[in-house]
Amino acid sequence: MRDQTIQYGTRYERAQVFMIDVTAEETGDEIYNKCVYTPELTVKARSLVLATGAMGRAGNPLPGEKEYLGQGVSYCATCDGAFYRDAAVAVYGITTEAIEEAMYLTKFASVVYWITSLCISKDTAGGLERNKVLDQDLLEQLLAKDNVVHMERTKLVEVLGDMSGVNGVRIKKPDAEDEEILEVEGAFIYGAGGGSKPITDFCQSKVDLDENGGVIVDENMKTSVDGVYAIGDIRNTDYKQVVVAAADGCIAAMAVEKFLNNRKMVKVDWIHK
């Protein structure tokens, strides 16, 4: 899908967005008045579509989790995994989501510490028995990876870091007197039951949000700001499916075309008669 868009002239950049501006007053530009800021580059445009999704995290944050969110703490391996190429990372959680995310991180990280507070297996008369709630095939694939270190019955106590971001996690094993520090550059945390908090920290109140943190849009996916649209899980609807996000994207694309060409109506490819 990415290759197809690039073939049609799309420029693809992988970077972490920390802020946006969406008005001429903020950017000082009457035409290209939408700005996206990243450490590597600044993108200026006439229109902007927000499609950052939602985070898989629920429950009370761990010490250091909120402080280093976006600076080493993440809830999305597919979003941030490539930033940790040849680095050590920790994944905390005993859900299938955590296993899937840890599996994805093995493509990039030098070592993935998978930390689970409970045992996922036990010795029985019939041999080793795995936790039947988890995806067995995926579990076996993860544990077979050479760069995965599974730490059972281990509690993640705190995320550690400094001005440059996460540099470790503090863990505690029940049979150990002292806590232990793992040197990692990333901490991917997945609570039981997952979560659906929209990723909107970079917006900094530039667009209106609902009481649950989702970006408010109209039927054309337009936000509270002209020329700014939002699609997918960032809207925080009850229908969190890929096909819904794709439909949102189609609607937004047609609305953007209407906006850029100052049309009164959406241009359609055909008309039913």
Residue 100 host element (H or E): helix 96-105
* 227, two tokens: 């020329």
Is 119 in the active site? no
Which helix (H) or strand (E) segment holds residue 136: the answer is helix 136-143
How is residue 69 annotated by DSSP?
B
Active site residue 80: yes
146 counts as catalytic: no
Rounded Cα distance between 204 and 67, Å, is: 16
Q: For residues 49 and 260, what is the distance between their CA atoms, to the nearest angstrom?
A: 13
Identify the residue whose tokens are 């949102």. Answer: 248
From 21, 35, 76, 248, active-site residue: 76
Out of 80, 203, 233, 248, pick the active-site residue.
80
Q: Which of 3, 29, 35, 79 is catalytic?
A: 79
246-267 CB burial, b ≥16 within 10 A, e <16: eebbebbebbbebbeeeeeeee
Q: Which residues are catalytic?
A: 76, 79-80
